[in-house]
Amino acid sequence: MQLKLYNSLTGEKEIFKPILEGNVGMYVCGPTVYSNVHLGNVRTFLSFDFIYRTLMHLGYKVRYVRNITDAGHLTDDGNVDNDRFVKQTRLEKLEPMEIVQKYTVDFHKVLEMFNLLPPNIEPTATGHIVEQIELTQKLIERGFAYESNGSVYFDVLEYNKRGLNYGELSKRNIEELFANTRDLDGQGEKKNPQDFALWKKASPAHIMRWNSPWGEGFPGWHLECTAMSTKYLGEKFDIHGGGMDLKFPHHECEIAQGKACNDTAPVNYWMHANMLTMNSQRMSKSTGNYILPMQLVTGENDFFEKPFHPSIVRFCFLQAHYRSVLDISNDAMIASEKGFIRLMEALKALNSVTPDNEKQSEFNLQEWKNKCYDALNDDFNSPILIAHLFEAVKYIFALNDGKETISAEDLEDLKSTLHAFIFDVLGLQNIEENNNEKLDQTLKVLIELRNQARKSKNFDLSDQIRDKLLAEGIELKDGRDGTTYVLN
């Protein structure tokens, strides 16, 4: 079985051939840490977490790099004074690096809640200013960039004159781009409106600033990803990912910077995850059409009728393919919750199945496994994988009802395969097991408190703890090795 993935650059599903056999270098654009991540952001990072997990499960050794954008960069409207970091520092009356720290911590907490694995390297833009200055110098030396009034711009026209093709990823025609660009930022500084900033001169209001050969300023956003991806993965690496909305201009500019610096396209496979929508509109902070992950998990929102466990949110996201738009709704979450519970019940039921080596089963385990792997190898098709998991669920319940049979060997195989798909690849967590663990820890704390009460001869309190637990169906038993509990 060969892994195929959809390459946004060619618009085709291609057989994946890593540069170094058995190894994958993957870079994913990380968050801009000036505010809390919303659920839409989480979907993109979760899509790549699933891709990362799948690659590892398929046997690849992956170096996964995901950056943190913590240096101020231009806004969508191109106006330097609208820099998101600068605005937020004013709003919250905090130092820029306090903003960065606050929202980086929040980002990590949120991703951990949804059971995302950390990347192997998580570099920050502010930690790579030197590299970005060096790249800018190289681009000037090679004639692809020019200085203007303390800022440095990439010369898109020059790039195209040399037979390179600006617009190849977003399939935009350069003439069209020149005609349609508004020149809000750097008015009069650029040779052409389409030129993009590699380095920006800092205005007096701009507090995040560094020294450079062109005076005090800060790096352009596109440059940080080129600097960090090539530093840790090489001038050419396997996979570059991000949300669909980053294709243009961000990723287009990364390709141009990479080619202009190193005479080679920086990335073999470009992968783009599709958007999360709510009320059929893209989730976004700027339009107000968003929900924070914590609001969904605690139930503190007006959109969903109840709270949902992070694992159910994760399951819901993975029921859509990463390249499809997913519209989040109360009904979709309720349906996912039902499916998730059934999947977990099947896993539990599997533990009480008795194997039978005599009878033949209708269910062909090997064929089923092949179908699951086909789904994974077919551009990471999580919804098809999940559909196959439910075929196994049906089989397990038939086994439980004595309507089907399984050999001892197949039973072990089915158990370990299901565990691998559900927990390692899909990254789901067994809520019930988690809850049991929590209950166990809580009861141990109560037993300890009761022991302390008894030691200090506060028998009133120790009896109260015992009696109240008993009323809840939890019986404490004092033995020679200490106190244990029984759930009645």
| Binding footprint of ligand AMP on the chain (CB under 6 A) | 29, 31-32, 40-41, 43-44, 242-243, 245-246, 275-276, 282-284
**Shortest distance, CB of residue 297 to ligand AMP, whole angstroms?**
18
In terms of CB distance, is 29 or 145 closer to Zn ion? 29
430 binds, among ligand AMP, Zn ion, none (CB under 5 to 8 A by kind): none
Is the CB of residue 68 less than 8 Å from the CB of residue 1? no
Q: Count CB neighbours of 61 within 10 A.
A: 11
For 191, residues 6+ apart whose C-beta sits below 8 A from its C-beta are: 146, 148, 153, 155, 157
Least distance in angstroms from the C-beta of 368 to Zn ion: 39
Span interacting with Zn ion, options 14-22, 106-114, 218-226, 417-425, rule CB under 5 A? 218-226
Nearer to ligand AMP, 75 or 212 (CB): 75
Residue 282 interacts with which of Zn ion, ligand AMP, none, CB < 5 to 8 Å by class: ligand AMP
Total residues at the site for Zn ion (CB under 5 A)? 2
Q: Which residue is it, tokens 């001892």?
A: 408
At which residue do the structure tokens 């859509």 appear?
320
What does 225 bind: ligand AMP, Zn ion, none (CB cut-off 5 to 8 Å by kind)?
Zn ion
Known binding residue 372? Answer is no
- How far is Cα of residue 48 from the mean position of the Cα atoms in its chain? 5
Q: Whole-number minimum distance, CB 251 to Zn ion, in Å?
A: 7
376 interacts with Zn ion by CB under 5 A: no
**C-beta of 84 vs 259, nearer to ligand AMP:** 84
Q: What share of the chain is helix, strand, coil (3-state, %, to 5)?
A: 50, 15, 35
Q: Which is nearer to Zn ion, 69 or 429 (CB)?
A: 69
Q: Which two tokens stand for residue 157?
A: 């026209």
Instruction: Select the residue interacting with Zn ion from 5, 29, 111, 133 (CB under 5 A).
Output: 29
CA torsion angle for 280, 284, 286, 291 (degrees, to 10)? 90
Burial profile 147-182: b = 16 or more Cβ within 10 angstroms, e = fewer: bbeebbbbbbebbeeeebebbebbebebeebeeeee
Residue with the CB atom nearest ligand AMP in the bound state: 243
Q: C-beta of 70: minimal distance to ligand AMP in Å?
A: 11
- H-helix or E-strand spanning residue 467: helix 459-471
Instruction: Identify how many contiguous H helices and E strands the chain contains and give both numbers.
Output: 16, 15
- Is 253 known as a binding-site position? no
Identity at 337, one-letter amino acid code: E
User: Token digits for 313?
Assistant: 């949110």
Applying CB under 5 A, which of residues 55, 111, 225, 392 lies at the interface with Zn ion?
Answer: 225
**Which option in Zn ion, ligand AMP, none does residue 41 bind, with CB closer than 5 to 8 A by kind?**
ligand AMP
254 is annotated as contributing to ligand binding: yes
- Taking CB within 5 to 8 Å according to partner kind, which of Zn ion, ligand AMP, none is near residue 32? ligand AMP
User: Is the Cβ of residue 72 or residue 310 nearer to Zn ion in the bound state?
Assistant: 72
**How far apart are alpha carbons 312 and 154 in whole angstroms?**
45
Q: Report yes or no: 115 and 427 within 8 Å, Cβ to Cβ.
A: yes
The C-alpha atoms of residue 117 and residue 66 are separated, in whole angstroms, by 11
262 CB-near residues (< 8 Å, 6+ apart) = 230, 235, 236
- Which span sits near Zn ion by CB under 5 A: 23-31, 104-112, 193-201, 463-471? 23-31
Q: Which of ligand AMP, Zn ion, none does 419 bind, CB closer than 5 to 8 A by kind? A: none
Per the annotation, binding residues for ATP are 285
- Residues annotated within the binding site for Zn(2+) are 29, 225, 250, 254
Binding-site annotation, residues: 29, 225, 250, 254, 285
- Interface positions with Zn ion (CB under 5 A): 29, 225
